């Protein structure tokens, strides 16, 4: 991210002005804001890339928004956006460009990295992916014994799993139901065992997806998969028909025994959690077909254009990012809930958790200083209406401020009876109840026993965004995912942190390797950990299998 000043972000006048403004907003209720401003809902609604965002039910006035936009300017957001789209090495701690937007660039224009246009490579890989997907879907690609492939299993973790797994669920209505596309990520063998249960190895194809091709979980699952196939088919040559790889590491792929001819490449400038549009999307393309995958890329691209070209005051990712800063940094919220009213999006929050928390879970600014403010929010969520009967109580009447995004669709893929009207009614009712609540007078007017009145009051003033599109399609899913990617980018710029590295996951990996040695040692190992960890190593050695 660019850094336009030596002041820490919370020392900028634009930031301190917001902190002062928060005092003026204390005691201002969404009821007042809507009562005093009939044009509010219309003014605070905007459309982009097939999505409508209504942000009127936020605890903001026009003044608040102007001040947040001033903060964006003061933090150099425009320069930062341009730097990302033009291939500058904005991932400075890894000295890499950040160009997931090139993966879905449908403009026909070149995208340069170090003086070289990356688009021919991007399009060539998409072409190879489409050819492979068609061959698997049509039955032309058979297993080693000549049987048709009935199951495709992606082995990958983190960014090499969550995006395609989320999208494969979301886009089930567009998928070939005769082909089962599954995902194995956890190093817990139960995941592999359950996902392969009942499958015939002769009809199963594995996609081993790993940017580095060194990730412990993925390499372990891939080795287990190879043994599973070879045990059944009894011929090493079977690997060629049952394994393909997606990676940036050709040598690693070869060392595993997969022919590089069966490898789909991507590049160091694609971050794992931003890689759905790269070859990491291969299992999704196999599931939904190349045409639907292309529609998804177009949805991503439409939101990319909106983000790159729209003035900040009408820019959806910019506004959502700034509203998040308002709540997390100025009003003291700590989490952010994402609540899709669509069962197919049941893995969307999981994908966003990596996208947002791995990107913005940082405490050091771009000048190497410990920040004096909060950065990434804890992101969480579940589909409505299930969440309503689980955790919404706390959102309505708990002590914490929890900003929420409600996501819905005008039309259902399954228009059964009045299910969809009920689903939508619940979405709208929740945002209305959260914003406007129920006063003591209203509770009393219902004849409520005086002792119960305090318990039945809903304070309201709980902020929400409402996002809706006509239908969940490859295009709208692409645009929605890009919207959150760019929201995360905006916040990273405001917080002046490096959003595109993830050093925080390294220490655990190193320690796990040491502990694994101790767990597997034949003789009683000399343990050099702390007392607690040493005791647990002894416990698992004594009681484990």
Establish if 158 lies at the interface with ligand F6P (CB under 6 A). Answer: yes
Window of 43-51, 152-160, 402-410, 455-463 that interacts with ligand F6P by CB under 6 A:
152-160
In whole angstroms, the minimum distance from the beta carbon of 139 to ligand F6P comes to 30
Establish if 512 lies at the interface with ligand F6P (CB under 6 A). Answer: no
Distance CA 206, CA 80 (A): 39
For ligand F6P, which residue of 41, 123, 505, 512 counts as binding (CB under 6 A)? Answer: 505
Give, as ranges, the residues between 343 and 362 that touch ligand F6P (CB under 6 A): 358
In whole angstroms, the minimum distance from the beta carbon of 187 to ligand F6P comes to 12
Q: Which residue is nearest to ligand F6P (CB)?
A: 272
Establish if 210 lies at the interface with ligand F6P (CB under 6 A). Answer: yes
Q: Do residues 405 and 339 make contact, with C-beta atoms less than 8 angstroms apart?
A: yes
Q: Give me the sheet containing 204-209, strands edge to edge.
A: 180-184, 151-155, 204-209, 243-247, 263-265
Compute the CA torsion angle 269, 270, 274, 277 (nearest 10 deg). 130
CA-based radius of gyration for the chain: 25
Q: Which of 127, 422, 455, 509 is catalytic?
A: 509
Q: Which of 389, 441, 446, 524 is catalytic?
A: 389
Phi-psi region of 96 (alpha: psi -120 to 50; beta: other; left: phi over 0): beta
For ligand F6P, which residue of 101, 105, 175, 218 counts as binding (CB under 6 A)? Answer: 218
Window of 208-216, 257-265, 332-340, 370-378 that interacts with ligand F6P by CB under 6 A:
208-216
Establish if 252 lies at the interface with ligand F6P (CB under 6 A). Answer: no
Contacts by 78-82 with C-beta closer than 8 Å and gap 24+?
78/312, 79/2, 79/4, 80/1, 80/2, 80/489, 80/493, 81/307, 81/308, 81/489, 82/308
Establish if 376 lies at the interface with ligand F6P (CB under 6 A). Answer: no
Based on the residue annotation, tell me whether 389 is a catalytic residue of this protein: yes
Distance CA 391, CA 395 (A): 7
Q: Print the SS3 string covering 275-317.
A: CCCCHHHHHHHHHHCHHHHHHHHHHHHHHHHHHHHCCHHHCHH
Nearer to ligand F6P, 241 or 351 (CB): 351
Establish if 212 lies at the interface with ligand F6P (CB under 6 A). Answer: yes
In whole angstroms, the minimum distance from the beta carbon of 246 to ligand F6P comes to 9
**Quick one: CA dihedral 11, 16, 17, 18, positive or negative?**
positive
Is residue 385 reached through a cis peptide bond, with omega within 30 degrees of 0 on the bond before it? yes
Q: Do residues 63 and 21 make contact, with C-beta atoms less than 8 angstroms apart?
A: yes
Q: Do residues 311 and 192 make contact, with C-beta atoms less than 8 angstroms apart?
A: no
Establish if 305 lies at the interface with ligand F6P (CB under 6 A). Answer: no
For ligand F6P, which residue of 59, 182, 226, 273 counts as binding (CB under 6 A)? Answer: 273
Establish if 289 lies at the interface with ligand F6P (CB under 6 A). Answer: no
Based on the residue annotation, tell me whether 291 is a catalytic residue of this protein: no
Distance CA 450, CA 39 (A): 37
Establish if 502 lies at the interface with ligand F6P (CB under 6 A). Answer: yes
User: Which residues contact residue 107 at a Cβ distance below 8 angstroms, ignoring those fewer than 6 apart?
Assistant: 301, 305
Give, as ranges, the residues between 456 and 485 that touch ligand F6P (CB under 6 A): none
For ligand F6P, which residue of 91, 160, 412, 430 counts as binding (CB under 6 A)? Answer: 160
Establish if 157 lies at the interface with ligand F6P (CB under 6 A). Answer: yes
Beta bridge partners, 184, equal: 155
Beta bridge partners, 187, equal: none
In whole angstroms, the minimum distance from the beta carbon of 502 to ligand F6P comes to 5
Based on the residue annotation, tell me whether 358 is a catalytic residue of this protein: yes
In whole angstroms, the minimum distance from the beta carbon of 470 to ligand F6P comes to 32
- Helix count and strand count (H, E) for the chain: 24, 13
Distance CA 293, CA 288 (A): 7
Establish if 159 lies at the interface with ligand F6P (CB under 6 A). Answer: yes
In whole angstroms, the minimum distance from the beta carbon of 263 to ligand F6P comes to 14
The position carrying tokens 């082909």 is 179
In whole angstroms, the minimum distance from the beta carbon of 164 to ligand F6P comes to 12
The residue count for binding ligand F6P (CB under 6 A) is: 14
In whole angstroms, the minimum distance from the beta carbon of 354 to ligand F6P comes to 7
For ligand F6P, which residue of 76, 272, 376, 381 counts as binding (CB under 6 A)? Answer: 272
Give, as ranges, the residues between 28 and 87 that touch ligand F6P (CB under 6 A): none
Q: Which of 169, 217, 295, 358 is catalytic?
A: 358
Residue numbers annotated as active site: 358, 389, 509
- Interface residues with ligand F6P (CB under 6 A) are 157-160, 210-212, 215, 218, 272-273, 358, 502, 505
């Amino acid at each position: 991210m660019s850094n336009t000043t030596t002041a820490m972000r919370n020392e900028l006048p634009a930031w301190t002005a917001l902190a002062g403004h928060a005092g003026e907003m204390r005691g201002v209720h969404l009821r007042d804001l809507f009562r005093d401003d009939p044009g509010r809902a219309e003014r605070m609604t905007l459309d982009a890339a097939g999505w409508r965002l209504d942000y009127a039910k936020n605890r903001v006035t026009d003044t608040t928004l102007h001040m947040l936009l001033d903060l964006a300017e003061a933090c150099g957001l425009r320069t930062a956006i341009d730097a990302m789209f033009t291939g500058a090495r904005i991932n400075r701690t890894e000295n890499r460009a950040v160009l997931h937007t090139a993966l879905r660039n449908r403009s026909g224009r070149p995208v340069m990295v170090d003086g070289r246009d990356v688009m021919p490579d991007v399009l060539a890989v998409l072409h190879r992916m489409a050819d492979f997907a068609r061959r698997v879907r049509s039955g032309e690609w058979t297993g080693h014994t000549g049987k048709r492939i009935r199951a495709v299993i992606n082995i990958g973790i983190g960014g090499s799993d969550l995006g395609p797994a989320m999208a494969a669920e979301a886009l089930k209505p567009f998928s070939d139901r005769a082909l089962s596309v599954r995902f194995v990520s956890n190093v817990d063998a139960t995941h592999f065992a359950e996902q392969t249960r009942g499958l015939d190895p002769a009809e199963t194809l594995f996609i081993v997806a790993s940017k580095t091709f060194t990730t412990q979980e993925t390499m372990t699952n891939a080795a287990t998969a190879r043994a599973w196939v070879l045990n059944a088919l009894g011929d090493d040559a079977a690997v060629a028909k049952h394994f393909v790889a997606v990676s940036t590491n050709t040598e690693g792929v070869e060392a595993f025994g997969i022919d590089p001819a069966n490898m789909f490449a991507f590049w160091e400038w694609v971050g794992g959690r931003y890689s759905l549009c790269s070859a990491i999307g291969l299992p999704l393309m196999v599931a939904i077909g190349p045409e639907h995958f292309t529609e998804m890329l177009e949805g991503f691209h439409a939101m990319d254009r909106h983000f790159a070209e729209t003035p900040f005051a009408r820019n959806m990712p910019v506004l959502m990012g700034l509203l998040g800063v308002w709540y997390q940094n100025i009003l003291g919220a700590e989490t952010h809930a994402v609540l899709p009213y669509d069962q197919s999006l049941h893995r969307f929050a999981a994908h966003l958790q990596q996208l947002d928390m791995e990107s913005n879970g940082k405490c050091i600014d771009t000048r190497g200083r410990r920040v004096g403010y909060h950065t990434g929010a804890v992101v969480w969520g579940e589909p409505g209406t299930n969440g309503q009967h689980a955790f919404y109580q706390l959102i309505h009447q708990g002590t914490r401020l929890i900003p929420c995004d409600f996501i819905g669709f005008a039309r259902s893929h399954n228009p059964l009876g009045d299910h969809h009207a009920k689903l939508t009614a619940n979405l709208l009712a929740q945002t209305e109840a959260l914003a406007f609540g129920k006063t003591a007078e209203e509770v009393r007017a219902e004849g409520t026993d005086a002792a119960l009145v305090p318990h039945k009051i809903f304070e309201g003033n709980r902020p929400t965004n409402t996002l809706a599109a006509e239908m969940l399609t490859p295009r709208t899913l692409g645009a929605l995912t890009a919207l959150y990617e760019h929201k995360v980018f905006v916040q990273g710029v405001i917080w002046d942190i490096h959003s595109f590295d993830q050093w925080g996951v390294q220490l655990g990996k190193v320690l796990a390797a040491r502990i694994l040695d101790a767990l597997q040692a034949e003789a009683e190992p000399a343990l050099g950990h702390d007392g607690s960890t040493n005791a647990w190593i002894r416990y698992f050695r004594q009681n484990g299998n």
